[in-house]
Amino acid sequence: MIDIRFIRENPEIVRASQRARGADENLVAEILAADEKRRQSLQAFEDKRAEQKALSREIGKAAKEDRPAVLAKAKALSDEVKSLETASGEAAEAFNTAMYKLPNIIVAGVPSGGEDDYTVLKQVGKIRDFAAEGFTPKDHLDVAEGIDGVDMARGTKVAGSRFYYLKGIGARLELALLTAAVDQAESYGFTMLTTPTLVNPEIMGGTGFLGAHADEIYYLPADDLYLTGTSEVALAGYHKDEIIDLANGPKRYTGWSTCYRREAGSYGKDTRGIIRVHQFNKVEMFSYCDPADAVEEHQRFLAWEEEMIAKAELPYRVINTAAGDLGSSAAQKFDCEAWLPTQNRFMEVTSTSNCTTFQARRLNIRHRSEIGTTPVATLNGTLATTRWLVAMFENHQQPDGSLYIPQALRPYLGGKEVIAPVAAAK
């Protein structure tokens, strides 16, 4: 949620942000009109209630012959106050509804446009020339099945399409990757949390996930709970309704959780293998910080993501995501995309978002600053996830079907340097 005072004082900035996102800029006028009606309704209610209280004090002082008239007036005022209170509540509800439609205000430097309008900030690492090495690379699923690391058929049998089993070395490799990510986060002062993967509507809505993409979320109506698509949701809710101490700098957490996404609207996209699935595991960074430090904290998150990708020895690029592809809560988002040889494209493996005070205002998370108690800023960033295996299988495959293990992950796999293919996986 955005500070209404900012919207009143800077309506054109908000409209420009909406235009950059490809969203409805008329929403700004709707919000301002609802705000004006809310304030007028509240003032009318409070004025009439003050009049009612003043009259109440006069009832006991009224002469006996005047009391019936005074009581009748008090009754009429009471009815009027109740009516104005109802109108004030309805105006406040309409205002809040309009405010919840407004996504975060983008920061300077975010490109306008949609999914394909990003800007590339840099590209890192050498892309392998498989032709020069004398062989055609297999796609990630063929590599994974060759080392008996993934079983898609039985995953589909048990749970349906886009489900899978990680098996043997595939499961161990994921565990190694996520554990290395947690170790790195801990070395930078993050506190690890294993988070709930079910949250209530207030937390899911407070983080901004119940907007345009709510159909991506699994919902359990019998319990009125949502399955989270990222531990960002539970991490953001951790300090709900609290005043936190940032005197010693940001409070940083890393969440390890299973994540669930319906992938609604993605029919036909990346249906082979484990690129776009309904369930996966992820290690997520999260920070509560002073809003004045949010841009610098965002750069730190990006650097930590790049450090982790370097440990996986993957060629990648960093993009500045366009406004229309940010999601409602982010003011800016950087994605790291690893090279996918068999598809001749880059594939997102991490993203980090600066959500400024948008989530904290909804969740009532504050800190004590020089000007009083004010909302904090929240930031999030992926440090490792199951999808990384896709890029690792493809980029680290060898001509004989074996898989090279990056040096940084070997201590988590008993020192293994190469995983040999399995003759006949069952």
pLDDT of 13 higher than 60: yes
351-369 average pLDDT score: 96
253-267 average pLDDT score: 87
153-162 average pLDDT score: 95
pLDDT of 120 higher than 50: yes
356 is annotated as contributing to ligand binding: no
- Look up residue 203 and give its amino acid: I
pLDDT band at 265 (very low <50, low <70, confident <90, very high): low
pLDDT of 341 higher than 50: yes
Q: Which helix (H) or strand (E) holds 338?
A: strand 332-340
The pLDDT value given to residue 426: 47
Q: Provide the β-strand partners of residue 335.
A: 319, 351
pLDDT of 195 higher than 70: yes
277-292 average pLDDT score: 97
pLDDT of 245 higher than 60: yes
409-420 average pLDDT score: 97
Whether the Cβ atoms of residue 353 and residue 379 lie closer than 8 Å to each other? yes
Q: Which two tokens stand for residue 55?
A: 């009259």
pLDDT of 271 higher than 60: yes
Classify 240 in phi/psi space as left (phi over 0), alpha (psi -120 to 50) or beta: beta
Rounded Cα distance, 349 and 310, in Å: 12
Whether the Cβ atoms of residue 395 and residue 339 lie closer than 8 Å to each other? yes
The pLDDT value given to residue 268: 65
376 is annotated as contributing to ligand binding: no
pLDDT of 71 higher than 90: no
The pLDDT value given to residue 65: 74
342-349 average pLDDT score: 97
Instruction: Give the active site residues.
Output: 261, 276, 348, 351, 387
pLDDT of 264 higher than 80: no
The pLDDT value given to residue 425: 46
382 is annotated as contributing to ligand binding: yes
Q: Which helix (H) or strand (E) holds 282?
A: strand 279-289
pLDDT band at 77 (very low <50, low <70, confident <90, very high): confident
Rounded Cα distance, 142 and 127, in Å: 20
350 is annotated as contributing to ligand binding: yes
Rounded Cα distance, 196 and 179, in Å: 19
232 is annotated as contributing to ligand binding: yes
28 is annotated as contributing to ligand binding: no
- Cβ density class 115-133: b for 16+ within 10 Å, e for less: eeebeeeeeeeeebebeee
The pLDDT value given to residue 369: 86
Classify 363 in phi/psi space as left (phi over 0), alpha (psi -120 to 50) or beta: alpha
pLDDT of 424 higher than 60: no
Average per-residue pLDDT for the chain:
94
pTM score: 0.92
Q: Which two tokens stand for residue 119?
A: 């800007």
pLDDT of 340 higher than 50: yes
Rounded Cα distance, 144 and 402, in Å: 10
Whether the Cβ atoms of residue 354 and residue 130 lie closer than 8 Å to each other? no
Of the CA atoms within 13 Å of residue 68, those in its CB half-sphere come to: 1
The pLDDT value given to residue 382: 98
pLDDT band at 267 (very low <50, low <70, confident <90, very high): low
Percent above pLDDT 70 for the chain: 97
